[in-house]
């Protein structure tokens, strides 16, 4: 249906087409990503599960899961929100629906190819930067740059004098992520090795989290919470503090990922302090959003988008508390290289970030389709499966990480540590599978919304209408 | 872009500029939404100050340092004495030696040492294993003293920390409690605070709220 617009004139493409394309793509990739995650977790919980086939070995599957979630789910959900929030906040139309559609098309094809190659074993071998350089170039020039051009041009053609805070983040973060990709992947492009390669790998990994995955999710909350509650954003000035503190303190501490590496010690000291200071933008963001909720907390129970959004904001608190302190020398010595870090990464990506994006995808698809959600019950099922599944995952992996840390420090034989953490690996699989199940239900619910959802009259919002069934 | 400097902690924007911004906020609803002009609540302001202080205190390299050979030197000196040798169990020996070493370290100029020994106790068997290496380093008169060697398990190795160049062309191996990374941070955070104060004080003062009923 959507593909017929790829060769149509821009004026003939209905507004919201690119949003819908990106929205459904993101949910699809979320299902794929969490499905592979569940499969991988099963391999860790039950070592005899699917053995004997090289392609299904953990080493082949792990990075497919990671990249499907980051570039498929999270980044496409970001693109989806940019396609509808950026023009809405400028009281204008998207600069080019056609460019948006082609970006979504390139994205799906490029990512499918990249993940297939990863699965086949074509990898740069660097965590988070696993894609081989030709695919990196597709991501930079076929995906991120066109997305950026569309967002920047939409902001430039806005009909408001001011620029709302969400658009500051959108415009800036696309610029940042392009720079992060270009510089971060240069290790492979220019065959840099050794410490330089190690540093660039984690410079990329740190900044893709800090200048893309978490701030864009926060930017989304600046839209969804005031929009759905009808309250004004608590404070424009705290928004400034959040935005500039992200740039100042999140872009600088990459070397805190490499405290045990032979980098200059002063650089680690600098990075460690900056790592704690990431709490400044986090506190500003959480305070601004929770104070915006004033008088509307009943919506946390009644409204599924607010439920997801506020949960995401609340998860930002443990995320940044963990993040700030686990990178200090004293604590990192214990938790580095353990499941604690895996738990923390999932708190960032599946916890804080994904919950905010899920809310925005729910809201945006209903708005663009002009259809009310097919089933609130299924949406609530989705929420509870994802939050309970996530908590099981997070808590079990945190405990497993502490066990591994103790094993590492006290030189416990490796096999004893493996045995000790086995129950937590099973819990991890249960939690991950619950998230996957919830997402399958979500995909069904959104498909049914497109097909059978109650039509929303012009000038109304989907969440303002009562359910008909 | 009118500036005024008579009361910089109240606002840095003149009345005309403040009015212009308030009117803009009242006239525009980006995406149908409003923005408030509230200040950061006082408790959160204090929390931010606490975060900055904590960031420096918790990251100093006094925390999480590896034990140096210097910590165990007083133990090695006493371990062959008849007093220690006559003790019945290994536990008694090491408890006695730790107590005596602690007394020595507490009189040292380096105030970190007692805390480091407290966090890095050693067993009698490990002490026996590292003792020859500690004696050799202490007596060799080499370019690095015991303070430059780390004890890792039963090994005594030159610390992998590389600090400033020394006059003899070698590098410092003792991690200082303060290095230039922290100095850079002090300046960086200071510049950030100054920049943020300017940014926020260029906005209308928080006492001036846009009247959204005009929209």
Instruction: Mark yes or no for CB contact B47/A276 under 8 Å.
Output: no
Inside any domain, residue B213: yes
Out of A160, A236, A266, name the one closest to residue B36 (CB). Answer: A236
Classify residue A232 by burial, with Cβ atoms within 10 Å: 0-12, 13-18, 19+. buried
Q: Rg of chain A over CA atoms, in angstroms? A: 22
**pLDDT of residue B215 exceeding 70:** no
Whether the CB of B157 is below 8 Å from some CB of chain A: the reply is no
In a domain, B95, yes or no: yes
Question: What's the domain range around B127?
Answer: 69-158
Q: Clarify whether residues B205 and B129 are in a common domain.
A: no
Nearest to A283 among B35, B44, B161 (CB): B44
What the block records as the tokens of A98 is: 């056609």
Chain B residues in contact with A329 (beta carbon < 8 A): 59, 61, 63-65
Give the sign of the dihedral formed by CA A298, CA A302, CA A306, CA A312: positive
Count CB neighbours of A150 within 10 A. 26
Mutate to test the interface with A, among B12, B40, B158 (most CBs of A within 10 A): B40
Contact A234 B196 (CB under 8 A): no
Coil, strand or helix at B157:
strand
In chain B, residues with a C-beta closer than 8 Å to the C-beta of A235 are 35-40
> Is residue B137 domain-shared with residue B119, that is, in the same domain?
yes
Say if residue B214's pLDDT is above 80.
Answer: no
Q: Say how far apart CA B149 and CA B66 lie, in whole Å.
A: 10
- Asked if the structure places residue B130 within a domain, the reply is yes
| Whole-number Å distance between alpha carbons of B115 and B73 | 16
Please tell me whether residues B145 and B90 are part of one structural domain.
yes
Write down all domains in chain A, each with its CATH number in brackets.
Answer: 7-453 (1.20.210.10)
B87 plus B131 within the same structural domain: yes
Chain A residues with CB-CB distance to B47 below 8 A: 283
Interface of B with A in 71-110 (CB under 8 A): none
**Domain-located, residue B77:** yes
Rounded Cα distance between A341 and A329, Å, is 15
Residue B1 in contact with partner chain A when CB distance is under 8 A: no
Alpha helices in chain B (DSSP H): 15-27, 42-59, 69-78, 82-85, 90-106, 113-119, 124-140, 180-201
Residues B140 and B89 in one domain: yes
Q: Which of B33, B173, B182, B205 has the highest number of chain A CBs within 10 A, making it the mutation to test binding with A?
A: B33
Whether A237 sits inside 8 A of B63 (CB atoms) is no
Residues of chain A positioned with their CB less than 8 A from the CB of B162: 262, 264-265
The residue among A453, A288, A435, A231 whose CA lies nearest residue A351 is A435
Are B79 and B143 in the same domain? Answer: yes
Burial A286-320 (b: 16+ CB within 10 A, else e): bbbbbbbbeebeebeeebbbbbbbbbbbbbbeebb
Alpha-carbon span A44 to A47, nearest angstrom: 6
| Same domain for B195 and B153 | no
Contact with chain A for residue B54, Cβ under 8 A? yes
**In this predicted structure, what is the pLDDT of residue A122?**
96
Answer for the pair A211, A218: CB distance below 8 angstroms, yes or no.
Answer: no
Assembly ipTM: 0.91
Decide: A81 and A360 in contact? Cβ < 8 Å: yes
- Identify the closest residue of chain A to B59 by CA–CA distance: A328
Residue B150 pLDDT exceeds 60:
yes
- Give the tens place of pLDDT for each residue, B56-81: 999 886 666 778 999 999 999 999 99
Indicate which of A240, A258, A272, A459 best probes the interface with B, i.e. most B CBs within 10 Å of its own CB. Answer: A272
Number of compact structural domains in chain B: 2
Exposed e or buried b for every residue in B54-70, given b needs 16+ CB within 10 A? bbbebbbbbbbbbbbbb
Task: Give the pLDDT score at B174.
Answer: 86
What is the pLDDT tens value at each position of chain A, 469 positions in all? 677 899 999 999 999 999 999 999 999 999 999 999 999 999 999 999 999 999 999 999 999 999 999 999 999 999 999 999 999 999 999 999 999 999 999 999 999 999 999 999 999 999 999 999 999 999 999 999 999 999 999 999 999 999 999 999 999 999 999 999 999 999 988 999 999 999 999 999 999 999 999 999 999 999 999 999 999 999 999 999 999 999 999 999 999 999 888 888 889 999 999 999 999 999 999 999 999 999 999 999 999 999 999 999 999 999 999 999 999 988 998 999 999 999 999 999 999 999 999 999 999 999 999 999 999 999 999 999 999 999 999 999 999 999 999 998 887 999 999 999 999 999 999 999 999 999 999 999 999 999 999 999 888 888 788 776 5
pTM of the model: 0.91
Kindly list the residues from chain B whose CB atom is less than 8 angstroms away from the CB atom of residue A282: none
Whether B104 and B146 map to the same domain: the answer is yes
Give B37's strand partners: A235
pLDDT score at A266: 87
Return the pLDDT at B62.
62
B116 and B47, same structural domain? Answer: no
Q: Is B14 contained in some domain?
A: no
- Residues B77 and B135 placed together within one structural domain of the fold: yes
Residue B134, domain member (yes or no): yes
Do B78 and B145 reside in the same domain of the chain? yes
Q: Give yes or no for B184 touching A (CB within 8 A).
A: yes
Whether residues B96 and B147 fall in one domain: yes
Is B116 inside a domain boundary? yes
Which of B158, B189, B204 terminates a domain? The answer is B158
Q: List the one residue out of A248, A182, A184 whose CA is nearest residue A215.
A: A248
CA distance B171 to chain A (A): 12
Asked whether residue B5 is domain-assigned, the answer is no
Nearest residue on chain B to A226, judged by CA atoms?
A: B33
């Amino acid at each position: 249906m959507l593909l017929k617009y790829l060769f149509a004139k821009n004026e003939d493409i209905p507004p919201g087409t690119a949003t819908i394309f990106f929205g459904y793509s993101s949910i699809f990739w979320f299902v794929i990503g969490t499905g592979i995650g569940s499969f991988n977790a099963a391999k860790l919980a039950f070592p005899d599960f699917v053995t004997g086939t090289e392609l299904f070995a953990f080493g082949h599957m792990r990075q497919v899961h990671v990249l499907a979630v980051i570039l498929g789910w999270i980044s496409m959900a970001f693109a989806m929100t940019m396609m509808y929030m950026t023009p809405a906040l400028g009281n204008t139309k998207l600069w080019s629906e056609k460019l948006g559609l082609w970006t979504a098309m390139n994205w799906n094809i490029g990512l499918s190819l990249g993940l297939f190659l990863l699965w086949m074993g074509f990898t740069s071998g660097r965590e988070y930067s696993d894609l081989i350089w030709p695919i990196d170039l597709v991501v930079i020039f076929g995906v991120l740059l066109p997305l950026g051009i569309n967002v920047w041009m939409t902001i430039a053609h806005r009909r408001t004098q001011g620029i709302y805070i969400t658009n500051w983040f959108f415009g800036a973060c696309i610029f940042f992520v392009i720079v992060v990709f270009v510089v971060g992947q240069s290790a492979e492009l220019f065959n840099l090795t050794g410490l330089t390669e190690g540093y660039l790998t984690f410079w990329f990994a740190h900044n893709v989290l800090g200048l893309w995955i978490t701030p864009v999710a926060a930017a989304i909350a600046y839209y969804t919470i005031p929009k759905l509650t009808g309250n004004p954003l608590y404070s424009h000035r705290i928004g400034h503090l959040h935005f500039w503190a992200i740039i100042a303190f999140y872009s600088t501490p990459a070397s805190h990922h490499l405290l045990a590496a032979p980098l200059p010690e002063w650089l680690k000291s600098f990075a460690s302090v900056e790592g704690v200071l990431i709490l400044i933008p986090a506190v500003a963001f959480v305070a601004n959003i929770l104070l915006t909720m004033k008088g509307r907390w009943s919506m946390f129970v009644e409204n599924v988008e607010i439920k997801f959004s506020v949960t995401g904001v609340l998860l930002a608190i443990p995320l940044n508390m963990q993040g700030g302190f686990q990178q200090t020398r004293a604590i990192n010595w214990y938790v580095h290289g353990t499941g604690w870090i895996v738990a923390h990464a999932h708190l960032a990506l599946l916890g804080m970030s994904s919950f905010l994006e899920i809310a925005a995808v729910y809201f945006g698809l209903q708005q663009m389709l002009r259809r009310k959600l097919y089933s609130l019950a299924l949406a609530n099922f989705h929420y509870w499966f994802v939050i309970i599944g996530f908590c099981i995952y997070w808590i079990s992996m945190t405990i497993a990480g502490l066990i591994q840390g103790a094993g590492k420090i006290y030189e416990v034989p490796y096999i004893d540590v493996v045995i000790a953490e086995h129950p937590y690996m099973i819990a991890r699989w249960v939690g991950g599978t619950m998230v996957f199940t919830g997402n399958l239900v979500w995909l069904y619910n959104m498909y049914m919304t497109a097909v059978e959802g109650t039509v929303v009259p012009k000038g109304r919002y989907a969440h303002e209408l009562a359910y008909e069934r | 872009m009118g500036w005024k400097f008579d009361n910089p902690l109240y606002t840095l924007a003149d009345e005309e500029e403040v009015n212009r911004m308030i009117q803009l906020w009242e006239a525009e609803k980006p995406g149908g939404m409003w923005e408030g002009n509230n200040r950061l609540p006082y408790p959160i302001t204090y929390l931010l100050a606490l975060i900055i202080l904590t960031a420096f205190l918790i990251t100093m390299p006094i925390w999480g340092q590896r034990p140096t050979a210097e910590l165990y030197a007083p133990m090695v000196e006493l371990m062959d004495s008849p007093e220690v040798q006559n003790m019945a169990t290994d536990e008694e020996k090491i408890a006695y030696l730790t107590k005596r070493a602690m007394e020595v370290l507490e009189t040292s100029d380096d105030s970190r040492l007692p805390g480091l020994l407290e966090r890095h106790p050693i067993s009698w068997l490990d002490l026996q294993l590292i003792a020859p290496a500690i004696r050799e380093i202490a007596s060799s008169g080499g370019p690095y003293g015991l303070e430059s060697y780390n004890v890792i398990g039963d090994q005594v190795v030159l610390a992998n920390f590389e600090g400033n160049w020394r006059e003899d062309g070698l590098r410092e191996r003792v991690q200082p409690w303060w290095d230039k990374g922290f100095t850079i941070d002090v300046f960086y955070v200071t510049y950030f605070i100054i920049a943020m104060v300017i940014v926020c004080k260029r906005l209308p003062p928080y006492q001036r709220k846009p009247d959204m009923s005009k929209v």
